[in-house]
Chain A
Amino acid sequence: MSLVAAAAEVVLRLDGISKRFGALLANDAISLSLRRGEVVALLGENGAGKTTLMNILFGHYLADAGSVEVFGRLLPPGHPRAALNAGVGMVHQHFTLADNLTVLDNIRLGTEPLLSVRGPQTARARISALSRDFGLAVPPDARVADLSVGERQRVEILKALFRDARILILDEPTAVLTPQEADALFATLRAATARGLSVIFISHKLHEVMAISDRCVVLRRGRVAGEAVTAETTRADLARLMVGDQLAETRVTPRVGGPARLRLRDATAPGLKPLTLDLCGGTITGLAGVSGNGQAALADLIGGALAPASGTMEIDGAPVAAWSTRRALAAGVGRIPEDRHRTGTVADFTLTENTALETYATRFARGPILDWPAVRAHADAIIAAYDVRCEGRDQRIRLLSGGNMQKLILGRVLEERPAILIANQPVRGLDVGAIAYVHGRLLDARDAGAAILLISEDLDEITGLSDVIHVMSGGRLSPPFRRGTLTQAEIGLRMAGQGFTDAA
């Protein structure tokens, strides 16, 4: 296939693209070409410049230098329509769908002349033909809000195909899929390339890249670090290109847990089937599953935002009666939130203020008065102990990088010495260095005796870090498995809802 592709015409050419954001050189003279019928993998860690490059291709950002050429024609910079009209379609990692509109409406949005009279029916026939040809089954009249994550991705791909895209760009498309859904996606991509479409596949998962791509382009710190024909390279080579010299994967020895600190027995909450779970001291319990299958509800349940609707919850053997976030905090539950920008921090507050969000009323209140000197000392201690790079505690937290923000949250939580810790997607969007730091701190907390629930969509993270693994699907929780007793494929089947004993 790569031989065929090598001879085919170049459909997309990025030439010498550079883009600077303030002090950060996000793209540094990046060049890249894509041929007809070819799948090129764009590899790179977070912050390597992949997203910026794609935003430039789509006219969302203006490049400082360089040009974009599609089917031999230069694209005018800064016009989002230009790339779309030239036949480039993008499937973002975070879907850009209007949840309250139907599949049909989402697909045809922006494709028809605005000042014409046309209802949803005109687009229907073409959409069903495309669904059939590319193996993308979705109910056309369903509201997007009612679709599964895999189905939503299919809608995104259909959106691009409906616009006659000849080039598909997929940004981390498998991050939200079960391994089986990912395989179906690969089948769709093969069908597409067989029809002469070309694909850019953005990823940092090497095994997928090896499986689907013809050629790999690796970005590191805004530059092209290397390029290779997939068949002629190895995972190790690619990994080295991606992370440079700092390839130091954490090798974690599993531990056998201590006594259960938290016990759920047939506990339910909105979005959760009755579930049973033990979180043991000195253990990392991994929760695998595609996001939106009840992980948020489970995190809320343990974290106190939800009270159990039925069933029992015990902490250190004592049954929990009334339950709230405040009570959970008092009971020693620490929480690293899934979304550090929207729920974890107050963007316009200073670092100092952000460190006190959960403890101002317990640790720092002197009657109705807030003991600011004590809060400031606390903030200084966290900034120092957790290596938060900042201009000082009085800086607004919105100006911090994701990694430093997460370190501050980590400090805020771990300084309370939690008995139970919920780490919800703790490294999402972080760069390699920060990931290693966060994982190291979680392991330290485990070794110090904390019972940790690690929620992640990244199976590698789950299988690499957890001592015990549960899988979640459709609000159900699988029984626990020791790390190493299930293959990723077996976990994947459970993520897709198979192998659950109770039929409820």
Chain B
Amino acid sequence: MTELVDILLQASFWAAAIRIASPLIFATLGELICERAGVLNLGIEGIMVIGAFAGWVAVYGGLPLWWGVGVAFLAGAAFGLLHAVLTVPFGLSQHVVGLGVTLLATSTSYFAYRLILPEVTSPPKIVPFEPLAVPGLSAIPFLGEALFTQTALTYAAFLSVGAVAFVLWRTPLGLALRAVGENPAAVEAQGLSVTALRIGAVVAGSGLMAVGGAFLTLSAFSSFFFEMVSGRGWICIALVVFGAWKPGKALLGALLFAAFDALQIRLQQTPIGAVVPYQVFLMLPYLLSILALILMSRRAEVPAALMLAYNKGER
């Protein structure tokens, strides 16, 4: 038990938790935007992969880091557009298209990676985002190390939460997005285009997911390798439910989840880790996600038109 307390009292533990949370925050926000507009985006897992790859390859090819983030966003947006065109105007099953997009984005990344680097065995590295101490704030004991010596991309993740919340609740665009996920007919009747709003939401949301993926290569691991996303996308879908489709709560969920993940890594190093097989620790995040879904299932207010295609003129 003392080990546990020791871990929780380390600033480095919380710094790690926030690092782990960052990609999840981006991707969860992206999924949240899609679902708020009524589209379940199961392409998230693959879009994170393409984001990780595209961001990495751009920087590997010589572009500055922030350009890499931009390239990742665009790559994700492109696959989002594919998803949106098939599910919104054509109204195809969001489950099937989402899984198809995940497979396509993943295999495209791997295919392109092998095209570019046919022979390498150990993946080449790039120079990732460096931790950036916020002047003043980083000097605060404990909090400074945990919160304010992160990379710029992490700060961007936190800022995105506020930005997305602001857009959703303080702008007419946000109102329109929420309305289109509640009752597309109401939006159409007010002269707005359901198709344009939903496509826009999925494209933007997918871009954010891809930035989440790019965090892995540009900030966390500094190289691209296969299976690196390993279910993070699916976990983000659970986090959206856990966060009741609200950015603030989703952030909280991502932090909780990441803290848990960081904890299990550290617990493996303790005497407990010698007794309990490491696979059990690795399972915990997934089990936790399922638990979160069960706990939140009853209370959550699902967007009323989630997963319902809208065909004009059909009542």
Contact = CB atoms under 8 A, between A and B. Distances in A.
Contacts of A109: 172, 175-176, 179, 186-187, 190, 192
Interface string A118-149: 11000000000000000000000000000000
Interface in A86-119: 90, 92, 94, 96-101, 105-106, 108-119
A100 B301 contact: yes
Contact of A108 (B172, B188, B304): B172
Nearest to B167: A117
Greatest chain B CB density within 10 A among A81, A90, A96, A116 is at A96
Interface string B174-198: 0110110011011111111000000
A98 B186 contact: yes
Nearest to B200: A114
Given A100-B182, A101-B182, A113-B172, A55 B189 contact: no
A481 interface: no
B61 interface: no
Greatest chain B CB density within 10 A among A108, A114, A119, A159 is at A114
Nearest to A118: B172
Interface in B277-315: 301, 303-304, 312-313, 315
Contacts of A80: 188, 191
Given A92-B189, A99-B304, A100-B301, A112 B172 contact: yes
Given A108-B172, A113-B172, A81 B186 contact: no
Mostly, the B contact residues are helix
Contacts of B187: 98, 109-110
A87 B185 CA distance: 20
B190 A110 contact: yes
A111 B190 contact: yes
A323 interface: no
A59 to B, nearest CB: 9
Greatest chain B CB density within 10 A among A61, A84, A109, A118 is at A109
Contact of B183 (A61, A90, A99): A99
Given A81-B191, A110-B176, A111-B172, 8 more contacts: A92-B189, A97-B186, A101-B179, A105-B179, A106-B186, A108-B175, A110-B187, A116-B171
24 contacts: A61-B313, A84-B191, A96-B186, A97-B186, A98-B179, A98-B183, A98-B186, A99-B182, A100-B301, A101-B175, A101-B182, A106-B186, A108-B172, A109-B187, A109-B190, A109-B192, A110-B176, A110-B187, A110-B191, A110-B192, A111-B172, A113-B172, A114-B192, A118-B171
Interface of B: 169-173, 175-176, 178-179, 182-183, 185-192, 301, 303-304, 312-313, 315
